[in-house]
Amino acid sequence: MGGRGRLVAAALAVAALVAIGTAVAATSKPDATAAKKPIIIGAAIDLTKNMAPFDAPAIAAAQIEIKKIDAAGGVLGRKFELKVINDQLDPNLTKQAAVQLLGQGADIIWVTCDVDYASPAVKAGLDKKKLTIAPCIGTDEMSPLRFGAEGKLAFSFGNAAQDEGAAMAEYAIKRDWKSGVVVTDNALRYFKDVCKAFSVRYKQLGGHVLSQESFTQGDKTINNVVTRVSNEKSAKIIAFCTSFAADQPAFVAGLRSLGNKTPIINSWAGDGSYWWSKNPKVTNYYFVTYASAFGDDPSKQVRAFEKLMAKAGHPAQTGGFITGATAIQVIAYAIKKAHGSTNGATLASILVQLHKFPTVSGKISFSPALHSVFGRSYRVIVVNNNKAKVLGQITAKSPAKIYCRKRPRPKLADGPGRTGPSGFRGSSRASGQCRTSISTSRVGRSSGSSARTVPARRRWSTSSPASTCRRQAASSWRVATSRAGVRIGEAGTGWPERFSKATCSVS
């Protein structure tokens, strides 16, 4: 059975484990806690397709942690009940699964580890004002940023891409790899945000980005990308942001087949051995992750948990497995602190205040701005000749700032929005001028297109009528993105208007 087949079989076995666990809970002998209503977690996740290597281990770890908590009496006498539906990454099935789980009394909704795939289930949970969580979504979009005010009830126990990319960059600089190429897979927002964060922090620390390359998983351009990257002879590091057992092995094997031995660094997206090619073997490949799935994690607690996974017949595929246990630990803590309440707003108000909260995956933090974890200690793992080894740990000094945020004066209503073109910045001056700057740099090339540049700076005086200022700002944005080769649809509907309002709003 190939790597993909093994993963599917493992995922289906996880579903069986969850079903058995639920059945056991339902048929166990009555005790002092039996009369109390269970805490129902409804999980709409992928167990058979691209997200299975990430969703399945996390849900298996969650089940193990649930059994541990229930064996000790549950949460204030209430036991957990975990219900799982395989949504197969189909948007309609994903929404239907969430609605079905809510109809079965789910107190908390658990979703797949990518926000785009998870969105239908997230919206269903938020519409019912339920705490809606993901074990390992790596963007900051489980928040009001994507879901509006209702997003205050959405959280991910995955590392924020801003934090993860920053950690990758800090490690690269620590190794004195100060010139590099950045290669982004546009298939997922997570991939794009990690590479943005890497680029921002890398440059801040003195690194020089020689070129930016991009592709979209399955678009059949990966060999062209391999050729261009291999031609960057002065690169000391290649930051590669993707996952899945398709273009990832093609890129790594392609470079090595050309004799290019430059170190490659990836995020948690590159964790796991399921994608490793046998010829050539994966070598000089680095990634940062939550925990080691190779039996050598520096934490005794994590190693013990990994053994429990293996004993249950579900060995960890990636370090992300530990996020499933972390999520259950935090949910249990929040419910206890809320005196047994599972009200979504009540639980969210507790989660958002967590700062360096100790869990099996290390200390985690949330904030009103970041509903994904930051401040976690990453494991740095290297793969040589298809053998993985933990080299050490690294904690990002702070998440990289990849989007414009609110500034106190002049008032910026909302940044420019997070879906704007890379490198676009809004800024302010005490003099009352509003200013935008667009970095003059190589824009990521895709499918063999040539590099493009965009203008460096435009200014408008806010002393002019607001409507005029906004028209000028929106017009300049359209011109700039057109020159940069960015389509309006890629940047998001209404983005220029949101940008112009932010630019021209003065307190």
Residues 114-130 have pLDDT tens digits of: 999 999 999 999 999 99
Positions of E strands within 101-145:
108-111, 131-134
457 φ, ψ (degrees, to nearest 5): -160, 145
Which pLDDT band holds residue 160 (cuts at 50, 70, 90)? very high
Q: What one-letter code names the amino acid at 279?
A: N
Task: Return the top range by mean pLDDT from 198-202, 408-412, 466-470, 491-495.
Answer: 198-202
Query: Does 345 or 15 have the greater pLDDT score?
Result: 345
pLDDT in tens, 28-37: 344 444 468 9
Burial class (CB in 10 A: 0-12, 13-18, 19+), 292: buried
Which pLDDT band holds residue 23 (cuts at 50, 70, 90)? very low
d(CA 111, CA 78): 23
Q: Is the pLDDT of residue 319 over 90?
A: yes
Instruction: Annotate 347-414 with three-state secondary structure.
Output: HHHHHCCCCCEEECCEEEECCCCCCEEECCCEEEEEEECCEEEEEEEECCCCCCCCCCCCCCCCCCCC
Q: Is the pLDDT of residue 49 over 80?
A: yes
Q: Where are the domains of the chain?
A: 3-160+295-371, 162-292+380-394, 424-504
Query: Does 155 or 3 have the greater pLDDT score?
Result: 155
Q: Can 3-160+295-371 and 162-292+380-394 be said to share one CATH topology?
A: yes
- The pLDDT score that the predictor gives to residue 471 is 52
d(CA 261, CA 373): 33
pLDDT in tens, 272-308: 998 999 999 999 999 999 999 999 999 999 999 999 9
pLDDT in tens, 125-145: 999 999 999 999 999 999 999
Residues 154-167, mean pLDDT to the nearest whole number: 97
Q: Which residues pair with 239 in a beta bridge?
A: 182, 265
- The pLDDT score that the predictor gives to residue 285 is 98
Which pLDDT band holds residue 317 (cuts at 50, 70, 90)? confident
d(CA 123, CA 102): 12
Residues 408-433, mean pLDDT to the nearest whole number: 33
Residues 85-111, mean pLDDT to the nearest whole number: 97
Which pLDDT band holds residue 359 (cuts at 50, 70, 90)? very high
The whole-chain average pLDDT of the chain stands at 81
Reference 64, options 317, 323, 248, 270; nearest CA is 323
Q: Is the pLDDT of residue 423 over 50?
A: no
Which pLDDT band holds residue 506 (cuts at 50, 70, 90)? very low
pLDDT in tens, 435-457: 333 333 333 444 444 333 333 33
Residues 198-226, mean pLDDT to the nearest whole number: 97
Residues 167-190, mean pLDDT to the nearest whole number: 97
What is the value of pTM for the model shown? 0.74
Give helix 247-257 / helix 222-230 axis angle, nearest 10°. 40
Residues 470-484, mean pLDDT to the nearest whole number: 47
Q: Options 3.40.50.2300, 3.40.50.880, 3.40.50.2000, 3.60.150.10; which CATH number does 162-292+380-394 get?
A: 3.40.50.2300
Q: Is the pLDDT of residue 25 over 60?
A: no
- Residues of the chain above pLDDT 90, percent: 69
Residue 78 DSSP code: B
Tell me which CATH homologous superfamily contains domain 3-160+295-371: Response regulator (3.40.50.2300)
Q: Is the pLDDT of residue 309 over 80?
A: yes
- The pLDDT score that the predictor gives to residue 38 is 97
Q: What one-letter code names the amino acid at 76?
A: L
Q: Which two tokens stand for residue 38?
A: 């269970």
- Residues of the chain above pLDDT 70, percent: 73
Strand ordering across the sheet containing 372-373:
80-86, 39-45, 108-111, 131-134, 154-159, 372-373
- The pLDDT score that the predictor gives to residue 245 is 76
Which pLDDT band holds residue 163 (cuts at 50, 70, 90)? very high
- The pLDDT score that the predictor gives to residue 244 is 80
- The pLDDT score that the predictor gives to residue 43 is 98
